[in-house]
Amino acid sequence: MDYLVAVLLPQLLHGLVFGAALGLLALGLTVIFGLLGVMNFAHGELYMLGAYAGIAVVGVTHSFWTALIVAPLAVGAIGAVTEVTTLRPLYRREPLYGLILTFGLALVFREAVRQIWGGDMRRILPPVTGSTPLLGMVYPNYRLFLLAASSILLLAIWLFFTKTRAGILVRAAVQDAEMLDGLGVNVPRVFTLTFAGSAALAALAGLLLAPIFTVYPQMGVEMILLAFIVVILGGMGSMGGSVVAALVIGLAQSLLTLWMNPQRVAIAIFALMIVVLIVRPRGFFGREGVLE
């Protein structure tokens, strides 16, 4: 019982918190995959840019809350400009070109950050401190805030895709962008705004997680690997699947660290992915198989 309350429960909550934030990252990735047919290798760097943009804004305004609004907007704008200037000319080509491009963009963003901020580890102080007694343990307030914020964001994203015209346009573009254009919708603009939105979401995740992690130029690399696994597990292009898979991976990662060192956890997560894909080659909710 003591073990449960003192060790298992907090770790379970950690997993939920991390999984929900990972879900934000994976959602953007899966939507872009649905739209462009490529995994966006620069997605982890947009996540990283969110944290650095947050540091910059906090440096000027001394307000984490302001940063939480300004940083995603700034990274969203970077995403929009990137899409228009570099990705758009490649849409008529094979997906491989897009893949190589995003890989290059990731290197450019990482190096640019290293030039501006240097390669050191940095921290952002949590905007809320203290802890709350909860289910017989005490849990940090910032993590509770993180869980609430991520859940609200996931719900808002779900409402966006099911209830708003803009969200429906994105879903239609994922299925058949050419036809949607033929119905009178400015599809290139839908692409740009979706890319910007996905960048802003990644940035938001980066900044939200920054107070519990550290900020450094490579921080996106680890996360993107997990996000890829989440997208594959969820079923490439399935949004609901991504959220479910993110929570599964978040919990698995968090619980496994109780018994293993980080390298073994990484291996175990890969093993988990392989087992799921053997049983369900299309992931949890995928339409097209990755292993078929």
Partner 1 sequence: MLRMADVHAGYGATPILFGVSLEVRAGEAVALLGRNGMGKTTLMKTAMGFLRPRRGTIEFDGTDLTRLTPHAIARLGVGLVPENRRIFFGLTVRENLELGLSAAADRSAALRRRRLDEVFHHFPRLQERIDQPGKTLSGGEQQMLAIARVMMAGARLILMDEPTQGLAPAFIRSIRDMISELKRLGVTVLLVEQNARVALSVCDRGYIMEKGSIVFEASSRELRESPVTHEKLGV
The per-residue DSSP string of 188-227 comes to HHHHHHHHHHHHHHHHHHHHHHTTTS-B-TTHHHHHHHHH
User: Are 20 and 154 a contacting pair, CB within 8 Å?
Assistant: yes
130 binding partner 1? (CB under 8 A): no
Residue 99 Cβ vs partner 1, minimum distance, rounded to whole Å: 20
74 binding partner 1? (CB under 8 A): no
Residues 155-174 that bind partner 1 (CB under 8 A): 165, 168-169, 171-172
Tokens of 26: 């994976």
R_g of the chain computed on alpha carbons? 19
* Cβ nearer to partner 1, comparing 264 with 287: 287
Residues 217-276 that bind partner 1 (CB under 8 A): none
**What is the number of residues in the chain?**
292
Residue 42 Cβ vs partner 1, minimum distance, rounded to whole Å: 27
Residue 169 Cβ vs partner 1, minimum distance, rounded to whole Å: 8
Three-class secondary structure of residue 63 per DSSP: coil
Tokens of 192: 């740009």
Site string for partner 1, 175-194 (x = CB under 8 A): xx-xxxxxxxxxxx------
Alpha carbon distance 66, 70 (integer Å): 6
122 binding partner 1? (CB under 8 A): no
Residue 187 Cβ vs partner 1, minimum distance, rounded to whole Å: 7
Q: Which residues bind partner 1 (CB under 8 A)?
A: 165, 168-169, 171-172, 175-176, 178-188
